[in-house]
Amino acid sequence: MKHDIAELKAELLCRGVHIDKLAHKPEFRRGGTGRAGEIYLEIDGAYVNVPVTGKFVEKSPYSLLSEDDSYSLFKDGEFVCDVILHHPIHYEKKTPHGVKKFARVHSASCFGTTIFHSCIHWRRGKACKFCGLELALEYAVPQKDPEDIAEAAAKAYQIGRASHAILTTGTQASRLKEVELMARTIKAIKKRVDIPVHIVIEAFEDMSLLEKLSDADTIDINIETFDPKVFQEVCPGKADLNFEMYMKNWKRAIEILGRNQVSSWIVVGLGEDWDITIKGLEKMVSIGVIPYLVPLRPSPNTPLADVSPPEPKYLLGLCKVASDLMRKYNVNPNTNLGGCTVCSASSPLKEVYNQ
């Protein structure tokens, strides 16, 4: 079946794939930052983070079948294409509470970890409704040691599974404590391995904290949505900072890290207003920020678990508008050094931009 990679990626990201017919079920996460309940496929050189859990996947027309170690994708029983399945690598350590995971490789060569597996917004009952961060505490180390992370990154690099590193974190009551551990972890990795380090962190009221993160190569400061009503409803904790504060954070981050090295996740399918979203996209891209558009991923055991993801056409439509804006304001995702924009497994944005 002939396929357009941007369309196929949007389909898989929004609908998921059945893996029940696989003799050996690939491993996937049940919580944590970013996307959970996913596997990583490579199709025509593009990576896709495909959901395999969640009610919505039951209705998916896609199935993954395997023969020996080769994998093929089918839609309604019809062959679509051969794919590569990238198995994750997990790094674990003994703790007083048993053996816990502290880092992993996902997709082909993305080394990642969450330095604080707790978030003040969870503590205050104001967690983002799509977030599964603290669900992973049953099997993850709550606070990571920079030397452990650097050692694991070096190991992954030596076997060709770490071409860049991603450090995420839950937001801490002390933003200074959060930033200091993030900065120490960046330094520790860079001392051991010469790879770009991408960080994901919540916007700051005190912009001087951003300067302490200047050793990073790229950064995500995620506004999640441009629709203030949706932001308040879905991210009640993060919504304490308004759009203007995010604009200030992005502008300062671009001054520190450079053009095309600052991005923000935009979760689409949260009930956002189209016009407000387009206006927000233009404002954000006009100052040089990459809009990393991802479909809502209803993760099990989160408040949005039973919601359906958006339609692939809706996601692609927004990616088209964003790509045209990026060309208008000379924002080029292909020159981004590391992290989500380079990996691109969670969004069809770059495929649409490069069409």
Smallest distance, Å, CB 220 to ligand SF4? 11
Instruction: Name the burial class of residue 273, with classes exposed (0-12), middle (13-18) and buried (19+) by CB atoms within 10 angstroms of its CB.
Output: middle
Chain length of the chain: 355
Residues 282/243, Cβ–Cβ less than 8 Å: no
Closest to 18 (Cα-Cα) out of 66, 84, 70: 66
Smallest distance, Å, CB 225 to ligand SF4? 12
Q: Between 221 and 257, whose beta carbon lies closer to ligand SF4? A: 221
Question: Residue 176's Cα: distance from chain center in Å?
Answer: 24
Identify each DSSP E strand in the chain by its residue range.
Answer: 38-43, 46-51, 62-67, 70-75, 78-86, 89-95, 98-106, 110-114, 164-168, 197-200, 218-220, 262-268, 290-295
238, two tokens: 């993060």
Q: Between 33 and 60, whose beta carbon lies closer to ligand SF4? A: 33
d(CA 84, CA 252): 39
CB atoms within 10 A of CB 212: 14
d(CA 118, CA 121): 9
d(CA 92, CA 217): 26
Phi, psi torsion values for 195, nearest 5 degrees: -130, 155
Q: Between 71 and 130, whose beta carbon lies closer to ligand SF4? A: 130
Smallest distance, Å, CB 324 to ligand SF4? 29
Smallest distance, Å, CB 313 to ligand SF4? 26
Interface residue list for ligand SF4 (CB under 6 A): 33, 119, 121-122, 127-128, 131, 133, 170-171, 202, 238
Smallest distance, Å, CB 81 to ligand SF4? 33
Smallest distance, Å, CB 160 to ligand SF4? 30
Q: Between 80 and 119, whose beta carbon lies closer to ligand SF4? A: 119
Smallest distance, Å, CB 177 to ligand SF4? 15
Q: Between 14 and 127, whose beta carbon lies closer to ligand SF4? A: 127
Q: Between 171 and 225, whose beta carbon lies closer to ligand SF4? A: 171
User: Which residues make Cβ contacts (< 8 Å) with residue 102, sequence separation at least 6?
Assistant: 91, 92, 93, 113, 140, 141, 144, 145, 148, 149, 152
Q: Between 63 and 225, whose beta carbon lies closer to ligand SF4? A: 225
Q: Between 157 and 231, whose beta carbon lies closer to ligand SF4? A: 231
Q: Between 40 and 122, whose beta carbon lies closer to ligand SF4? A: 122
Smallest distance, Å, CB 34 to ligand SF4? 9
Smallest distance, Å, CB 224 to ligand SF4? 8
Strand 218-220, strand 262-268: pairing: parallel
Residues 212/183, Cβ–Cβ less than 8 Å: yes
